[in-house]
Structure 1
Amino acid sequence: YPMSKSGDLNSDATLWFFTYGGSHKVTEVEHHPQVNVSFVSPEQQWFISISGSSQLVKDRNKMRELWKPELQTWFPKGLNEPDIALLNVKINQVNYWDSVSSFKPQIISFLTPSGL
């Protein structure tokens, strides 16, 4: 289901998403941590596909760091929501398509200590 990325991509190539800890998506990730995240801008004709591994995180300090007021729409009690949590995605590879210049994807791979 659609989710909104929280915060900027940081130096350790991790994406963060707020979620409810008991959601169906979290159950799926716990059973199959390999995920794909897609971003698209039809108007500008670019597409990004990110593959990586995901896990549930309940770190309150990280939630405070990433919280933004517009999330109140989905989490009416803010950080006081009883089941609020984060999903993090450790990026392994990024494919980028810009159809203005080419339909051939540009591939960016991230080397992690476990991948070296």
Structure 2
Amino acid sequence: MANDTPQHVAETFLAKLKDSPFVMIGLADSDAHHEPMTAQLDDDRPNTLFFFAGKDNRIAGGGPATAHFAAKGHDFFACLDGDVSVDNDRAQIDKLWNKQVEAWFPGGKTDPNLTLLRFDIDSAELWETDISLSGRVKMLFGGTITADESSSHAVVDSVA
């Protein structure tokens, strides 16, 4: 891969997440399954994902959590560890509010069930599976893929 530095892989992750902002997230200390949620991104806070949720949502209690991401084309994957907490800052809600969120909360920004959750990412493991054309041909016919035909992988403390 031409540019497989951890910074490049992290930048690719953020671009892929903006294109398809859906993650599976769950609390580490819970027996409940992870659930799909739509991540709201704030470019001023690149190591934080935000989620509009109901106050009764299974992650609303907060704590250590893990989120999993698969890009639309299945060419990028991420596993993110961090902490979920409530962040009902009105300015942050106003900044992230959009029509898709409004569809879930008919009472708007003052809906009594609305809460804004923030997921502060402590560490991430990222995989970019952009295998070269020659690597794909080898996969079809059983050849051995060399490192320069393979994907990128990074373990990072920051996705910024």
Mapped partners of 1:80, 1:11: distance in 2: 24
Query: 1:15-53, CA deviations, whole angstroms, 9 ceiling, x for partnerless residues?
Result: 1111112323213x2xxx111112212524210111111
Unaligned runs of 5+ in 2: 1-34, 132-149
Partner of 2:156: 108
Q: 1:10 to 1:38 in 2, by over 3 A?
A: farther
1:2 maps to amino acid: P
Q: Is the 8 A contact 2:64 2:84 kept in 1?
A: yes
Count of equivalent residues: 106
Q: Is the 8 A contact 1:21 1:56 kept in 2?
A: no
Secondary structure at the residue paired with 2:36?
coil
Q: After TM superposition, list the pairs within 5 Å mapping 1:33-72 onto structure 2.
A: 33-72=63-102
Q: After TM superposition, list the pairs within 5 Å mapping 1:1-116 onto structure 2.
A: 1-11=35-45, 13-27=47-61, 29=62, 33-101=63-131, 102=150, 105-110=153-158
Secondary structure at the residue paired with 1:2?
strand
Unaligned runs of 5+ in 1: 111-116
Q: CA deviation at 1:98?
A: 1.5
Partner of 1:114: none
Q: CA deviation at 1:104?
A: 6.5
- Structure holding more strand per residue: 1
Q: Percent identity?
A: 23
Which TM-score applies when normalising by structure 2? Answer: 0.58
2:55 maps to amino acid: G
Q: CA deviation at 1:89?
A: 1.1
Secondary structure at the residue paired with 2:60?
helix
Q: Is the 8 A contact 1:72 1:78 kept in 2?
A: yes
Mapped partners of 1:76, 1:8: distance in 2: 23
| Structure with bigger gyration radius | 2
2:155 maps to amino acid: I
Secondary structure at the residue paired with 1:25?
coil
Which TM-score applies when normalising by structure 1? Answer: 0.77
Q: CA deviation at 1:9?
A: 4.5
